Each structure stands twice: as C-alpha cells, then as structure tokens.
Amino acid sequence: MKRNWHLSITLVCIVLGILLATSFNTQQRNREALNTLRKQDLIKTVRELEKSKAKLEIEIKDQRAQIARYEELAAKNQGILSTYTKELDKVKMAAGLVQEKGPGIIVTLADNPQYPKDDPNPNNYIIHDYDIRIVVNSLWGGGAKAISVNDQRLISTSAIRCAGTFILINSTRLSSPYTIKAIGDPEKLENALNEDINSRRFMNEIANFYGLKKSVTRSPSLVIKGYNGGLLVDKAKVVEGGD
C-alpha cells in the first residue's frame, strides 16, 4: 500500500516535471516568437517587393528593347532622325543604359571571415558602404567609362548606402563579397586607386590591418550590363539658375 502511493505520486511528479519544463520552453519560445512575428512580416514584405521589383525590371528591359526597335525602324526611314538616334545612343551610353564592353579592372572586396572574438567592435572587420564609395570614386577619377558593383550598374542617380547587414545599390541588397568592375584604361584605373589618398589608405593600410580580403585584377575584356531600373526622380528638382 505504501509503495503504491509512492509510485503513483512519483508518476504524477514525472508528468508534472515534463509539463513544467515544456511550459518553460514554450514561454521562452513565445517571447522570441512575438519579436519574430513582426520581423517575419517585414521580411515577407521586403521579399515581395523585391520580387515585384525584379518583374518590373524585366518589363522595363522589354519596353526599352521595344523602343530601340522602333528607333531603328525610324532611323532607317528618315535621314534627319538618324542623327537624333546617334545622339540618343551617345546619351544612353553616358546614362549607363546600354551594355559596355572593353578592357578594365576588377576590384574584389570581402569581409574578414574570422574577426577576433575579443574585439568589441566587429564593424571594423566588414566592408562598409563608404569603403565601396571610396573605391568607386577613385575609379571614376581614373576615367572609368562604366562601373558595376555585383552586376549593379552605377548611373548618375545610383546611391551606395548601408542598410543593416547589407549594402544597398540601386535599391538592391548586396552582401560580401563585392565585385567592382570598371571599364577604362586598366593602368590609369589602377593608378587612380593608388593616387587617391582615401582609397590608398583603405586598400593598403586598413584592409591589411583588419584582414579584409581584396584583390585587383586587370582584364582585357569586361562586359558591364546596362542599368535596368527606373529612371524617374520624383522628389529631387532642378535648382533654378544652377547648371
């Protein structure tokens, strides 16, 4: 009899223990879940927007191809229009809307895969938006005709900015490693990287000190695709009297 009740209560106690532990775990999970719910919503929104953006970009590409076809037809038909068409092609090239081919250099930058755990500031060991800006600016200075970062063509309205753990270029999320392609005279471009004090410091001192991966290679023939995004600017306005 005595053993009986001992065993019964022990059994219930085992169940009670399991329930308690499960309850505890569930509570812990719930706390996380409440935070992740909002996050998941946001992630979903971003994903959907990115999908629709990709679709729209394809649409833009198609439309532009259509326009180009019409332009060709028009150019064939009329002499006066062909001048304009040539002009238009030049402008398109300058605007970065068409594919560019030619020699150039490829600069690859990547985060340090293992930063020391005792360093309180892991930010030192990753590539930032301003690092890419510095390099890109030097390349423009070296007379680059076209530049792309991870196949995002840089145009006059392109911004290189930081968004959490990503770098946003043309509103597209990019992450390490970053491949910067620049078309131009390879020697001039490479010299430009060394001549500009900021990029020289970054490429030689900072990158080496923090173990950031970098490489600069010359390429006899690079292909940089045209920009496929929208060109509408709805907030910025031309300043009166500015040029």
Partner 1 sequence: MLPLIGLILGIILGLILNIPVPINWSKYLGIAVLAALDSAIGGLRASLEMKFNEKLFFTGIFSNTLMAAFIVYMGDKLGVDLYLAAVVAFGVRLFQNLALVRRHYFQKRHWE
Least distance (Å) between residue 24 CB and partner 1? 8
Terminal Cα-to-Cα distance of the chain (whole angstroms): 101
Q: Does 40 bind partner 1 (CB under 8 A)?
A: no
Kindly tell me which of 12 and 94 has the beta carbon lying closer to partner 1.
12
Q: Does 159 bind partner 1 (CB under 8 A)?
A: no
Strand order in the sheet with 213-224: 152-153, 146-149, 178-183, 100-110, 213-224
Kindly tell me which of 4 and 121 has the beta carbon lying closer to partner 1.
4
Least distance (Å) between residue 42 CB and partner 1? 19
Number of residues in the chain: 243
Contact, 144 vs 104, CB < 8 A?
Answer: yes
Give the span between the Cα atoms of 59 and 70, in whole angstroms. 17
| Assigned token pair, 141 | 């200075």
| Assigned token pair, 231 | 């060109």
Q: Does 239 bind partner 1 (CB under 8 A)?
A: no
Q: Does 31 bind partner 1 (CB under 8 A)?
A: no
Give residues 118-157 in contact with partner 1 (rule: CB under 8 A).
none
Q: Does 33 bind partner 1 (CB under 8 A)?
A: yes
Q: Does 35 bind partner 1 (CB under 8 A)?
A: no
Q: Which residue in the set 27, 77, 114, 121 belongs to the binding site for partner 1 (CB under 8 A)?
A: 27
In this chain, which stretch among 22-30, 69-77, 116-124, 230-238 interacts with partner 1, using CB under 8 A? 22-30
Q: How do strand 166-169 and strand 172-174 relate by DSSP bridges?
A: antiparallel
Give the span between the Cα atoms of 99 and 93, in whole angstroms. 8
Contact, 194 vs 216, CB < 8 A?
Answer: no
Number of residues lying near partner 1 (CB under 8 A) = 28
Nearest to 184 by CA among 129, 133, 243, 136: 136
Q: Which residue in the set 19, 73, 74, 197 belongs to the binding site for partner 1 (CB under 8 A)?
A: 19
- Which residues sit at the interface with partner 1, rule CB under 8 A? 1, 4-27, 29-30, 33
